[in-house]
Structure 1
Amino acid sequence: MLKDFKQFALRGNVIDLAIGVIVGAAFTSIVNSLVKDIITPPLGLITGGLDFSNLFLVLKGPQTTTLADAAKAGAVTINYGIFLNNVISFLIVAFVLFLVIRSVNRLFANPPAPAVPPAPPEDVVLLREIRDLLKAKP
């Protein structure tokens, strides 16, 4: 059983997957920093600092003006503003990731292979053969 586990764990696919997960985690922090520290501030400036995190619907409990007050009062709430913030963050991260991957793919793209000229038509090939035969005739 130990031998089978060792064979499984040291197979190339498992090691590649482990490396991919580690690099992906590191890349996630880079993308999140790019979104949080570079992309989001100008968007906040453009939208006038619009923040959805304080939008909620009280299902049970006292009506309050902020989500923190509702939580302190023990109210049951639907926090749709936080959900909207997460959706917007996801869309920004997905778009930035798309741009990064697109740039990397362009950077490492193989140049197109030179176009092979099309074969000459059959009648041209036949005429060339006749020409070569006539030249070779003494």
Structure 2
Amino acid sequence: MLFPKNLPRLWAGAELGRYIGAMLKGFKEFIMKGNVIDLAVAVIIGTAFSAVVNSLVGDVLMPLISMIVGEPNFDNFLVFGTVRFGAFLTVVVNFLLVAAAVYFFVVVPMNHLIERRNRRLGITEEEEAVDPHIALLTEIRDSLRARQ
């Protein structure tokens, strides 16, 4: 409960300290649970990196495509009345370019760096830490297979 019923009395001395301490302890447990920190870092980096990817697609790749096609985008391509297939095609091409940019400029180099670090430290794939949730699910799967 965020605000206890005895709120006026709470603000007196040691009781306030215990209340704030309990709240901070709960917050610390929440932050340290699971991958909250990893998720927060991913969101922040992803937000910052989206500007880089959008610039790569909008300022580098789409102008190259427009040199080939002759238009800055596909919005006026295949327009049949109110059905604008060209606008949809522009969105699909942008998505594919963003996905390719993220894969080739983030995922591949990161996998290479992780592999290089593991080789330097002498860590094989089997030795990498297994998430306890994955281990539990694997045990459950194996026991279900054994029953059949």
> Which band: TM-score by shorter chain?
0.5 to 0.7
Aligned partners of 1:108 and 1:91: how far apart in 2? 25
Q: Is the 8 A contact 1:53 1:81 kept in 2?
A: yes
Equivalent residue number for residue 116 of structure 1 = none
Distance in 2, matches of 1:25 and 1:32, equals 11
Q: Secondary structure at the match of 1:109?
A: helix
- The change in CA–CA distance for 1:11 and 1:107 in structure 2 (over 3 A counts) is closer
Structure 1: give runs of 5+ residues left out of the alignment.
59-76, 114-138
Give 2:46's match in structure 1, choosing from 11, 15, 24: 24
Query: Residue 15 of structure 1: CA displacement?
Result: 2.8
Q: Matched residues in 2 for 1:38 and 1:79: separation?
A: 25
Relative to its length, the structure with more helix (as a share) is 2
Compare relative contact order (CA 8 Å, sep 6+) and give the higher one, 1 or 2: 1
Task: Specify the alignment match of 1:85 in structure 2.
Answer: 90
Instruction: Report the counterpart of residue 57 of structure 1 in structure 2.
Output: 80
Say whether 1:6 aligns with 2:27.
Answer: yes
- Cα distance in 1 for residues equivalent to 2:80 and 2:26: 52
Q: CA deviation at 1:6?
A: 2.3
Q: CA deviation at 1:84?
A: 0.7
Report if aligned partners of 2:62, 2:72 keep a CA contact under 8 Å in 1: no
Q: Which has the larger radius of gyration?
A: 1
Residues 7 and 84 (structure 1), Cα distance of their counterparts in 2 relative to 1, 3 Å cut: same
1:109 paired with 2:132, answer no
CA RMSD in angstroms, aligned pairs only? 2.8
Corresponding position of 2:140: none
Deviation at 1:10, TM superposition (A): 2.2
Asked whether the 8 Å contact 1:31–1:97 carries over to 2, the reply is yes
Instruction: Give percent identity, aligned residues only.
Output: 38
Q: Secondary structure in 2 aligned to 1:20? A: helix
Q: Which aligned segments of 4 or more residues in structure 1 are displaced greater than 4 angstroms?
A: none
Assess if the C-alpha contact under 8 Å between 1:32 and 1:93 holds in 2: yes
**Aligned residue-pair number:** 96
Deviation at 1:8? 5.7
Mapped partners of 2:109, 2:28: distance in 1: 38
Q: How does 1:115-134 map to 2 (within 5 A)?
A: none
